[in-house]
Structure 1
Amino acid sequence: MLSRRHGSHMPTEGGNYTHHWGYFSREVPCTDDAGACAYLDTVYHGHDISMMYSAIMWAVILGILLLCFIGHYCNPITRTMTARIKTANDTECPRRSQSSIYRLTRMFDSIYHRHFLREALTPIFGHTTRFNLLLLAILIGYLTIFTFVGIVYKTWYSPVEGRPDLRTTRVGLGPWSDRIGILAYALTPLSVLLCTRESLLSLLTGIPYHHFNFLHRWLGWIIYIQSALHTLGWTVVEARLYQPQPATWNEFIGQQYIIWGIVAMIFLTFLVVFSTKWAIRWTGYEFFRKSHYIIAMLYVGACWGHWSKLACWMIASLAVWLLDRGVRLLRTLILHTGAHSSDTHAVWGLHVPKAQMTSFVSEEDGDVVRLDFKHDHRPWEIGQHFYLCFPELSVWQSHPMTPSSVPGITPQSHTYIIRAKKGLTQSLAQIARQPRLSSSEPASTSVVLSGPYGQSIVDNDLHCTDDINLLCIAGGTGVTFILPLLQAIVLTSLFPQRRSQVEFIWIIRRKENMAWISAEIDALRTVAASCPHFRIRVFVTRETASDLPPLALNEKEVDLIKRTSSSSSLTSLEQPSAPQSPFAVHYLGAAATAEGSTHPDVGACLTDFLSRTAQGPTRLFASGPTGLVSSLRTAVASANDPAKVWKGDERYDVQLVHDDRLEW
């Protein structure tokens, strides 16, 4: 293979050999012509450097992960310098002190959110933050620099035996092609790590697994470009520079390792093409997901067959993939196996809960289905989500959904709000509609859970500290991410004594959408009526205030909605000093008819909220469509003011926590 690859003579028997990791052993001394020997010196030296560069790259990656692990689990610098105080009910809560270390930490947080939270180059990279683009730029910069460093840019000539009219040309293209091939191999385990659901990266850093999707997608493009250039480079070398032709090319292309390389390139092309947005729309998301799993592992196997001397990278990729699938299956079995309470006694075995479905029919916007069920298992953390599979519809599909209920005493109560679109959710909505045609019991369906996944968004500060200002903004069914947080904080005995401001903004299409969570809204509205520091505002984007919301309200509540809905508009945001109702419904339908589509200015909402806060940092929790999250990133970046934060005005330390998996 060495002789065929570099056009040199076959090694002699009984020679001395030097070992090179990931490559052929080399016979020394070289017995070829001077040009071939000088070229082989360059090839082996370049390969050894390439292996060193790939090792350095992984050393840097592991070092960064170690720092993230230390910062997440055992941070030596406490991020909140607190002094303990006693509240009215003798419960200890932290109050923030304004030490230099604390203010410096807050200032750096504000700098990050002001400069790296914004989006950039959205036509190319989509809706992602500058921080993600910075990480991608650093990776591309490293790969670009070390793809060319250490390559000998020189030309060597060798005579062709029996053909005095021809000579073989050797240049640095061969070692350069090997370099990018080695880097592509070394990046493959990282690509697999970035896309796993049972993410080792999330375990080490505390960052939810879906936040790595951006880097996974673009790392796939990088590996594809590297592989294409690797293939093109060796095609030019073997089909043009090496002589005689076409005998050299025919011998080269018939080798087994080259055939495996071609197969690997075909698999990689399939992965890239069918991961584009237009291909996913054409074939469907489920085809993309299942084919991606299968073809990716076939690609790893083909890479192993192409260059088995670097199988260590492929073994690592397979190990990560198998670990992800195995842990995922094991967690699902544990979640559904064990002792489950029945009406009279505990039952041991496999238990699949039945979810009661409530249908909210809308011909204009599509149906919304509410699922309610109970299941015995350990409580999840607020902000985490489950993957739901409906075996009566399909055992091959599962969808990520955030429970809108608060975890508590077993059996855990699960509530999900699902907007029906296409595929499985549309079938789910059709089943939920069936009870409307008869007097039978509400429709139900079996649910298989997998999870929970993600990170908690409620820490001790939010539960207990009374000087953190909370602004919660949800769009449509994104309320499922916000609602448990509000219930955990607002519906507690400590909340009436809270000093900071809390506001809930819900953007919906029609006023009847409030019926999705009517009981939960009623409970929050009751607290808002007695707590001046808590306010609820609902923006209805596609209707006017001509009709009342179809909720079962008493006369006092109906009068409140009449007064707030008849006078509320976006102009109220421009007048912070105007009286604010604890519960207000703003109808934007008239403006939508005139302008095509109107949504509230979330930047103005944030500015108004900050103007009413007194002290303490601000946290903004949001969930909804991509456009909403994009607008909030810009608004939060503009609201952060590091200079004011350093001076002690923590209101302008605004942090955004959002659930970017949910759609409208």
Structure 2
Amino acid sequence: MTILALLVGLSKTWGIRLTGYEAFRKLHYSLAMVYIGACWGHWDKLKCFMLPSLIFWLIDRGCHLMRTGLLHYHILNSGHVGLRTCTADITLFPDPEYGDVYRLDLANNQDPWAIGQHYYLCFPESIETGLVKHSYIIRTKHGETKNFAQLCACKLSPAVCLDIKTTPVILTGPYGSHTMDNIEPHSNVLCVAGGTGITYVLPILLQHAQSLRPVRAKYSLIWSIKETRDLKWVEAELIALQQAPEDMNLDINIFVTQGIATKIKSRGKELHPADTQVKEVTSIGSSGATDGRSRSLYLHQSDGINGYRRRDVANLIGDFLESTIDGPTILFSSGLGVIISDVRGVVAGFNSPSRVWCGQQRYDLKFVGEDRMEI
């Protein structure tokens, strides 16, 4: 019972925060093995329950190890076949107030992952054709992200005389559901994200921008960030959305919670929350140059929790629904718990079976959320 109590306690948020994720993971494995051994030693007749548990656990660990091995089993430069880590390019976005943000970009020879899935990353350093691209946005604070920041600081040191700063990475995955499976061919898509939650929703819009979709479907992104400089995290992806085909009915609204917002304009209806200050720019690119296909973005300044107040979220979702022509709507959201809770409540309020029964499919809303809990 003592071991079980420790397992439960260390699995709580405060337990993981106290020990760190890696310590939590290793302690969990160790204590589980001790528990099985203690039960077996207490009464050997319990082995009929303990043995299957041990066997299934070992099979599970073996499958995880095999999956990781297959991801990194390549032809080496020497011509031999063996395990090789991925080389990730490091980009630093300094943020001394809220924690520096790093972006990792790598490519690996593997089967494509599905949008909505995720990987676990291991950094073994602590002191083309057929390649699948991975990009990760990591805000560094405490625990393992702090260790990662220290690793990157060494890599980015002026003493390291390399044009491109890189680090080896070992991937484990993919895990999670296929987000795109939730989208019907005629569905409208609304994405709401806070901070690094943009990594969950942005691939959905990028996928639609690259595929043939019904012209009548509508798409929208609502993203909350602390500073306008945070746009640099995904600058290339936002520019790709700006240059999406003209028949993709897309609006992009970005809320800035700190500093002075420089607004980037988007085609479609402009929003005017009470505390919004806006100034128009056509592109987020460093040169400011655009072509005939380029669409711009709405950038708003807001003082609400995580970038916008609940009533602003309701207004934005309501305006989106009113602007759709036909079909149901699916809303994807990722961010801190307060964002997920607010968005879920607003979606529940707009769902209207009576209107759907009368043929107004726009009030058929589906919610798909991913919590970004700060541990």
Superposed pair shares fold, TM > 0.5: yes
**Aligned with residue 422 of structure 1, among 142, 154, 168:** 142
**C-alpha displacement of 1:353:** 1.4
Q: Is the 1:476–1:624 contact (alpha carbons within 8 Å) kept by the matching residues of 2?
A: yes
Alpha-carbon distance in 1 for matches of 2:72, 2:296:
42
Cα deviation 1:381-402 (Å, max 9, x = unaligned): 11111110001029xxxxxxxx
Q: In structure 1, what is the equivalent of residue 28 of structure 2?
A: 292
Q: In structure 1, what is the equivalent of residue 117 of structure 2?
A: 384
Percentage identity across paired residues of the two chains: 41
Q: In structure 2, what is the equivalent of residue 437 of structure 1?
A: 158
**C-alpha displacement of 1:351:** 1.4
Q: In structure 2, what is the equivalent of residue 303 of structure 1?
A: 39
Q: How many residues align?
A: 352
**C-alpha displacement of 1:627:** 1.4
Cα deviation 1:349-369 (Å, max 9, x = unaligned): 221111110000111121111
**C-alpha displacement of 1:540:** 0.6
**For 2:162, what is the secondary structure of its paired residue?**
coil
**For 1:309, what is the secondary structure of its paired residue?**
helix
Q: In structure 2, what is the equivalent of residue 356 of structure 1?
A: 89
**For 1:392, what is the secondary structure of its paired residue?**
coil
Cα deviation 1:107-153 (Å, max 9, x = unaligned): xxxxxxxxxxxxxxxxxxxxxxxxxxxxxxxxxxxxxxxxxxxxxxx
Alpha-carbon distance in 1 for matches of 2:40, 2:343:
45
Alignment TM-score, normalising by the size of structure 2: 0.84
Instruction: Please tell me the residue identity of whatever aligns with 2:255.
Output: F
Structure 2 CA distance for partners of 1:605 and 1:637, relative to 1, 3 Å: same
Q: In structure 1, what is the equivalent of residue 209 of structure 2?
A: 490
Q: In structure 1, what is the equivalent of residue 243 of structure 2?
A: 526
Q: Is the 1:474–1:624 contact (alpha carbons within 8 Å) kept by the matching residues of 2?
A: yes
1:614 and 2:325 are equivalent in the alignment:
yes
**C-alpha displacement of 1:622:** 1.3
Q: In structure 2, what is the equivalent of residue 625 of structure 1?
A: 336
Instruction: Look at both structures and tell me which one has the larger radius of gyration over its CA atoms.
Output: 1
**For structure 2, which runs of at least 5 residues remain unmatched after alignment?**
277-294
Alpha-carbon distance in 2 for matches of 1:390, 1:379:
22
1:541 and 2:257 are equivalent in the alignment:
yes
**C-alpha displacement of 1:276:** 3.5
Cα deviation 1:142-165 (Å, max 9, x = unaligned): xxxxxxxxxxxxxxxxxxxxxxxx
**For structure 1, which runs of at least 5 residues remain unmatched after alignment?**
1-264, 395-407, 550-557, 574-580
**Aligned with residue 570 of structure 1, among 266, 273, 279:** 273
**Aligned with residue 410 of structure 1, among 124, 130, 135:** 130
1:373 and 2:106 are equivalent in the alignment:
yes
Alpha-carbon distance in 2 for matches of 1:503, 1:347:
48
**C-alpha displacement of 1:569:** 4.0
**C-alpha displacement of 1:523:** 1.3
Aligned ranges 1:224-243 → 2 under 5 Å = none
Cα deviation 1:621-642 (Å, max 9, x = unaligned): 1111121111122122222222
Alpha-carbon distance in 1 for matches of 2:233, 2:341:
25
What value does the CA root-mean-square deviation take over the aligned residues? 3.0
Alpha-carbon distance in 1 for matches of 2:49, 2:350:
45
Alpha-carbon distance in 2 for matches of 1:638, 1:320:
44
**C-alpha displacement of 1:608:** 1.8
Structure 2 CA distance for partners of 1:519 and 1:450, relative to 1, 3 Å: same
Instruction: Please tell me the residue identity of whatever aligns with 1:473.
Output: V
Structure 2 CA distance for partners of 1:634 and 1:316, relative to 1, 3 Å: farther
Structure 2 CA distance for partners of 1:537 and 1:348, relative to 1, 3 Å: same
Instruction: Please tell me the residue identity of whatever aligns with 1:652.
Output: Y
Q: Is the 2:121–2:169 contact (alpha carbons within 8 Å) kept by the matching residues of 1?
A: yes
Indicate the structure with greater helix content: 1
1:647 and 2:358 are equivalent in the alignment:
yes
1:322 and 2:25 are equivalent in the alignment:
no
Structure 2 CA distance for partners of 1:483 and 1:277, relative to 1, 3 Å: closer
**For 1:527, what is the secondary structure of its paired residue?**
coil
Q: Is the 1:355–1:446 contact (alpha carbons within 8 Å) kept by the matching residues of 2?
A: yes
Alpha-carbon distance in 2 for matches of 1:275, 1:350:
32
Structure 2 CA distance for partners of 1:372 and 1:305, relative to 1, 3 Å: same
Instruction: Please tell me the residue identity of whatever aligns with 1:324.
Output: D
Indicate the structure with greater strand content: 2
Structure 2 CA distance for partners of 1:442 and 1:430, relative to 1, 3 Å: farther
**For 2:191, what is the secondary structure of its paired residue?**
strand
Structure 2 CA distance for partners of 1:294 and 1:432, relative to 1, 3 Å: closer
Alpha-carbon distance in 2 for matches of 1:431, 1:393:
6
Structure 2 CA distance for partners of 1:658 and 1:339, relative to 1, 3 Å: farther
1:636 and 2:347 are equivalent in the alignment:
yes
**C-alpha displacement of 1:432:** 3.3
Instruction: Please tell me the residue identity of whatever aligns with 2:193.
Output: A
1:450 and 2:172 are equivalent in the alignment:
yes
Alignment TM-score, normalising by the size of structure 1: 0.49
**C-alpha displacement of 1:587:** 0.8
Structure 2 CA distance for partners of 1:410 and 1:301, relative to 1, 3 Å: same
**Aligned with residue 508 of structure 1, among 221, 225, 240:** 225
